[in-house]
């Protein structure tokens, strides 16, 4: 990957609060258009990492480049290219949703370019986040889920190249969550937006991201697509099927070969199901091993 394709390039990032080392050498790269989920238990240092990359927190050591710049020394021009979900608009609850987006969007006009027109057209943005019907409602009269969508809309108003989302779907109902997932997919596909998100929802990580990294003990202990992590860390899959009146279960690490033989030898097979370990199974196993003070199975998949 050339450095021009990298939106985030972090090497040996360290963060110490008092005498506690929270990040102990994080190395992480994110490519343009990539959606990456950062997983880790409470207190692992996810928010700290995001805040360092956003330029809101000074790191203790390490090299950090975001959109080619060191966030600690970046200017307004750089800031206009990243999207952060803030809740500061909540001081402006009397504004109507559409007007608030129009108003804050004006800040981004000087940073517009032919490839990336800024700001986002308000109508399009309202449509994208599913707030068109409440465009004329004041922000303070929105429901909790709608407020969260407005948070996201405001982070997108400058059509960011890189978007940071810290636990974006907390408090969403299943439908809002699904709609939000569609927004993330559209941003990555249509606008080539790179997205770094944190979540505690493993299903969400699996559905949304191209890559998942797991932060444990201040380091990244696994890095790969959900499929890579589940196959390489968990390995075997379970095949269940019914044959006559028998229900059978077989564990294998070569599902394709096993199924080929099975179907040749047992034409009566029905209700066939293949189950691989989910990302959640793999992640919980890593955390359990870590908590038990064992070295987790450090499978690092080269990106
Ligand atoms: N300003 C600070 N001063 C001292 N310690 C801090 C500070 N900010 C965070 N910490 C500590 O650093 C650790 C990592 O915190 P951080 O918020 O980055 O974790 P997290 O992975 O985002 O957790 P969560 O999943 O609970 O949001 C925690 O132990 C936290 O108490």
Output the tens digit of pLDDT for each of the chain's 303 residues. 566 689 999 999 999 999 999 999 999 999 999 999 999 999 999 999 999 999 999 999 999 999 999 999 999 999 999 999 876 666 778 999 999 999 999 999 999 999 889 999 999 999 988 899 999 999 999 988 888 889 889 999 999 999 999 888 887 788 888 888 988 898 888 888 999 999 888 888 888 899 999 999 999 999 998 878 877 666 678 899 998 888 998 888 888 899 999 999 888 888 899 887 788 888 888 888 888 865 545 555 554
Give yes or no for residue 22 CB within 6 A of ligand 1. Answer: yes
Q: For residue 46, how far is its CA from the centre of ligand 1 (angstroms)?
A: 8
Q: For residue 258, how far is its CA from the centre of ligand 1 (angstroms)?
A: 46
Here the ipTM equals 0.97
Residue 49 Cα: closest atom of ligand 1: 18
Give yes or no for residue 168 CB within 6 A of ligand 1. Answer: no
Give yes or no for residue 40 CB within 6 A of ligand 1. Answer: yes
Give yes or no for residue 45 CB within 6 A of ligand 1. Answer: yes
- Coil, strand or helix at 45: coil
152 CB-near residues (< 8 Å, 6+ apart): 85, 129, 165, 168, 180, 183
C-alpha radius of gyration, the chain, whole number: 22
Q: For residue 216, how far is its CA from the centre of ligand 1 (angstroms)?
A: 13
Distance in angstroms (rounded) separating the CA atoms of residues 289 and 72: 35
The pLDDT tens digits for 87-144 are 666 677 899 999 999 999 999 999 999 988 999 999 999 998 889 999 999 999 998 8
Q: Where are the beta strands (DSSP E) in 140-264?
A: 162-166, 194-198, 211-216, 219-224, 237-243, 246-252
Give yes or no for residue 47 CB within 6 A of ligand 1. Answer: yes
Predicted model pTM: 0.83
End-to-end CA distance of the chain: 9
Give yes or no for residue 46 CB within 6 A of ligand 1. Answer: yes
pLDDT at residue 1 in the model: 58
Going by alpha carbons, the residue nearest to atom 31 of ligand 1 is 43
Going by alpha carbons, the residue nearest to atom 3 of ligand 1 is 17
DSSP, residue by residue, 7-18: EEEEEEEEEEET
Residue 230 has which token pair? Answer: 């589940």
Going by alpha carbons, the residue nearest to atom 13 of ligand 1 is 43
**How distant, in Å, are the alpha carbons of 15, 17, 71 from that of 20?**
9, 5, 23
Going by alpha carbons, the residue nearest to atom 2 of ligand 1 is 17
Which residue from 13, 15, 17 has its CB within 8 A of the most atoms of ligand 1, so it is best to mutate? Answer: 17
Q: For residue 39, how far is its CA from the centre of ligand 1 (angstroms)?
A: 14
CB 274 within 8 A of CB 303: no
């Amino acid at each position: 990957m050339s450095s021009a394709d990298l939106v985030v390039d972090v090497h040996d990032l360290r963060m110490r609060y008092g005498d506690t080392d929270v990040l102990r050498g994080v190395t992480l790269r994110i490519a343009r258009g990539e959606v990456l989920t950062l997983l880790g238990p409470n207190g692992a240092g996810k928010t700290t990492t995001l805040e360092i990359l956003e330029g809101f927190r000074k790191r203790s050591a390490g090299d950090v480049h975001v959109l080619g710049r060191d966030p600690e020394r970046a200017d307004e021009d750089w800031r206009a290219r990243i999207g952060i979900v803030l809740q500061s608009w909540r001081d402006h609850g009397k504004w109507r949703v559409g007007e608030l987006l129009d108003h804050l969007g004006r800040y981004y006009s000087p940073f517009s370019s032919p490839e990336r027109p800024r700001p986002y057209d308000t109508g399009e943005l309202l449509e994208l986040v599913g707030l068109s019907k409440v465009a004329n409602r004041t922000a303070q009269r929105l429901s909790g889920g709608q407020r969260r969508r407005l948070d996201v809309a405001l982070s997108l108003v400058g059509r960011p190249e890189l978007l940071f989302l810290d636990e974006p779907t907390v408090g969403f109902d299943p439908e809002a969550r699904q709609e939000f997932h569609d927004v993330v997919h559209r941003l990555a596909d249509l606008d080539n937006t790179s997205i770094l998100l944190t979540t505690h929802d493993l299903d969400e990580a699996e559905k949304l991201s191209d890559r998942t990294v797991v932060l444990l003990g201040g380091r990244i202990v696994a890095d790969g697509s959900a499929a890579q992590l589940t196959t390489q860390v968990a390995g075997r899959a379970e095949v269940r099927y019914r044959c006559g009146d028998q229900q059978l279960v077989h564990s294998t690490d070569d599902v394709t070969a096993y199924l080929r033989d099975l179907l040749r030898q047992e034409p009566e097979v029905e209700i066939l199901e293949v189950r691989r370990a989910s990302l959640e199974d793999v992640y919980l196993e890593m955390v359990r091993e870590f908590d038990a003070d064992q070295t987790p199975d450090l499978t690092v998949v080269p990106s």
